[in-house]
Amino acid sequence: MNAVLAPIALLLAPGVPLALALLWSFPRLRPHIGPLAPWAAIPALLLALFGQPGATVELDWLLFGAQIGMTGTTQVFLFFTALIWFAAGIHGRGHLSKDDHCERFCVFWLLTLAGNIGLILALDVALFYTSFALMTFAAYGLIVHDASRAALRAGRVYLVLAVLGEALILTGLILAARATGAPLLPMLADLPAAIAAAPERDLIIASLWLGFGVKAGLPLLHFSLPLAYGAAPVPVAAALAGAMIKAGLLGWLVTLPLGQAGFEQWGTIVIATGLIAAFGGALIGVNQIRPRFVLAYSSISQMGMVSVAIGAWLSAPELGPLLAVAITIFALHHSLAKAALFLGTEVVRHRTRRPVLWLWIGLGIPALALAGLMPSGLLTKTTLKGALTAGNAMPEVWNNLPLLLGLAAIGTTALMARHLWLLRLEAGRDDAPPAAWHGWALITAATVLGVFLLPLWGITPDWLAGVGGIPDALWPVAAGLLLAVFAWRWLKPWPIPPADVLVLLTPLPGLVMRAGQAVGVTGPAIQHLLRHLQALALDRYRRADHWIGRASVHLWRRDAPLLFALILALLAAYGLSIG
């Protein structure tokens, strides 16, 4: 792509979906936007395939200006993100053209897509955060699209955690921007060094790690993912699990002080948390009773594994080049496989008189990829293991880290076996629309072939090492299959609800009832006490609300000019003192 087309392509990639979303505001154009929406990701896909890293575009007409461009890593992220959105859009053309609320679905789809692509191409902090927030909050409209009770509950939980995550991210980015040399237009590339030298570096790292961790399924911040993946329409779930979850990973990559020395303690914390997610996600996921819930916990487990790589980078900065390649390959591999698995949950429902072998082969391909038996899975495992064991750079306490990841891979195999078993129970219930087959076939083929495009982006994987890693990949798969057979034959799933932690956070009335019954107090007496306490709390709330309302009216009608004058005087005094 030459120097003339490169800036145009950079503008079109996020600009096309954003422009279509803005055109939606004209009622006469709305019926024509739905058929175009699935194709809105094509400019970004072409840019990822034929663009060259290094070209930038400055948007001086924005408030403080902005810059967009591509790096080698973000080009890979742009490829699988655009491809997943395109395949999911083809798969979900029914929602974009025939659904009762297709116009509403269309505008949220385009806004979420624009935000997702915009944050990948953003080079400055302001545009990155704006795009991330646009993607996050526009996705709420996609999750609650069906307006069912489950969808509305999933949307509420998602929105609460989204606001918490955005607040943490904004806090971290503002503090990090203040530490850079250009706080009005800080560049993402300047953040790691600035954070490493900032006096509030621990607060900044904690805010960014937890904030992006909401999107990446960090333990104790993960419970919106199963609810959202289970309630959203299938193409939305594929985009959430395949593309948007990697926005959290990209946030870690471009903001955390990776490659900077002196963060061994943070590396230990991140590695430990990643292992908890890897094993905990697998343990809870194999006890789920719906395929999409199993896939949700599989995503949490897989993101735990990539969190281990982030922690290793913090612990051993000299491994940065190797870990950067491993994380990029992991992101490509997991995103395509997970999107194919989600789109397959609708294709498998197609009615047929006899089992279709090729259909189940197609459904099994992404499952085998995640288990590590396809080229992408083999390459991911060997690259990550090679990075972790290179030069004995990791602290001694983590010498057995590759073995722990191998044990976590047993859980991945068990999750995939559980998923395919539950799919068998849902097979043949209705007819999948033709578009669903097209989107699923496209992303399934990309699961197999996508990894061979890595040289296009300057990544030259060691294929011989991947072939040599087959024995290391076989034993977790064999152990996982044996565990799955044992569980199917002799064990029953535990009744763990999909929002596992959320259920533990909101059981107070039931716990009070059970505790009262345990000490001999009857249920009616406890209910009477709870009603009394509820009425008392409501009365106190009304009184406080009345007092605050009167005080606020009094303040804004009478004392506001005095308050503003005082603030201006303080600001003027501060300006004179530093002048």
If you write DSSP's letter for every residue of 117-167 in order, what string do you get? HHHHHB-BHHHHHHHHHHHHHHHHHHHTTT--HHHHHHHHHHHHHHHHHHH
Q: Is the pLDDT of residue 378 over 50?
A: yes
- Residue 284 is predicted with a pLDDT of 94
**pTM of the model as a whole:** 0.86
- Residue 358 is predicted with a pLDDT of 85
User: Hunting for tokens 């078993």 — which residue is that?
Assistant: 421
- CA atoms of 151 and 157, how far apart (whole Å): 10
Q: Are 169 and 129 in contact (CB under 8 A)?
A: yes
| 65-74, 190-199, 386-395: range with lowest mean pLDDT | 386-395
Q: Are 296 and 290 in contact (CB under 8 A)?
A: no
Read off φ and ψ for residue 56, nearest 5 degrees: -135, 160
- CA atoms of 67 and 123, how far apart (whole Å): 5
Q: Are 525 and 516 in contact (CB under 8 A)?
A: yes
Question: What proportion of the chain, given as a percentage, has pLDDT over 90?
Answer: 62
Q: Which amino acid is at 509?
A: P
Q: At what angle do helices 320-347 and 357-371 cross, to 10 degrees?
A: 150
Nearest CA to 418 among 301, 234, 241, 295? Answer: 295
- CA atoms of 340 and 359, how far apart (whole Å): 13
- Residue 503 is predicted with a pLDDT of 63
The sign one gets for the Cα dihedral 138, 139, 140, 142 is: positive
Q: Where does the pLDDT of residue 546 fall: very low under 50, low under 70, confident under 90, or very high at 90 and above?
A: low
Read off the pLDDT of residues 115-155 as tens digits, 9 standing for 90 and up.
999 999 999 999 999 999 999 999 999 999 988 999 999 99
Q: Are 383 and 321 in contact (CB under 8 A)?
A: no
Q: Are 196 and 190 in contact (CB under 8 A)?
A: no
Q: Is the pLDDT of residue 517 over 70?
A: no
- CA atoms of 281 and 297, how far apart (whole Å): 5
What are the residues whose beta carbons fall under 8 Å from the beta carbon of 357, sequence distance 6 or more?
none
- CA atoms of 178 and 133, how far apart (whole Å): 20
Position with higher pLDDT, 90 vs 393: 90
- Residue 326 is predicted with a pLDDT of 95
Question: What proportion of the chain, given as a percentage, has pLDDT over 70?
Answer: 84
Read off the pLDDT of residues 531-540 as tens digits, 9 standing for 90 and up.
777 677 767 7
Q: Where does the pLDDT of residue 556 fall: very low under 50, low under 70, confident under 90, or very high at 90 and above?
A: very low
- Residue 268 is predicted with a pLDDT of 95
Q: Is the pLDDT of residue 180 over 80?
A: yes
3-state secondary structure of 209: helix
- Residue 465 is predicted with a pLDDT of 81
User: Hunting for tokens 């250009």 — which residue is that?
Assistant: 182
Q: Is the pLDDT of residue 198 over 80?
A: yes
Q: Where does the pLDDT of residue 355 fall: very low under 50, low under 70, confident under 90, or very high at 90 and above?
A: low
